[in-house]
Amino acid sequence: MQEELRKIARKRTITEEEKKFVMDTSKELGIDWTPELACSNCYQDQAIVLLKHISDNAKSSHDNALKLKDGIDIRWRGVRVNSATITDEIKEGMLKDNLKHYFDDEVGN
């Protein structure tokens, strides 16, 4: 899907089949979109929007799957953080603060 979207995003003109692919992919990903009639590159623009959506969701899924390393028990912003107290909000904040080293690189490590 991503490779096809990349190809469409780079093309000057696209086929009806490619237009249908962009429309179907938008619907599949839950993105409400209707192309403008007078727009010459709406489908290419939408392909870029879809690629960004897919990329953002993949990153979010990866970050949500990260687990705190065994034995970690720290204070972060005045809050005790360990495997029993960590929440998605704390995890997100720690990642924004560049504290990824407290997390396993892969789930199950």
What would the pLDDT profile of 32-65 be if each residue is shown by its tens digit?
999 888 888 999 999 999 999 988 777 666 566 7
- What's the mean pLDDT in 66-80? 91
User: Is residue 84 packed enough to be buried (19+ CB in 10 Å), middle (13-18) or exposed (0-12)?
Assistant: exposed
CB-based contact 44:14 (threshold 8 Å): yes
* Long-range contacts, 8-15 (Cβ 8 Å, 24+): 8/43, 8/44, 8/47, 9/44, 9/47, 9/48, 9/51, 10/44, 11/44, 14/43, 14/44
Helix axes 42-65, 2-10, angle to 10 degrees: 150
pLDDT tens-place string over residues 75-106 = 999 999 998 898 888 988 998 999 989 998 65
Name residue 43's amino acid: Y
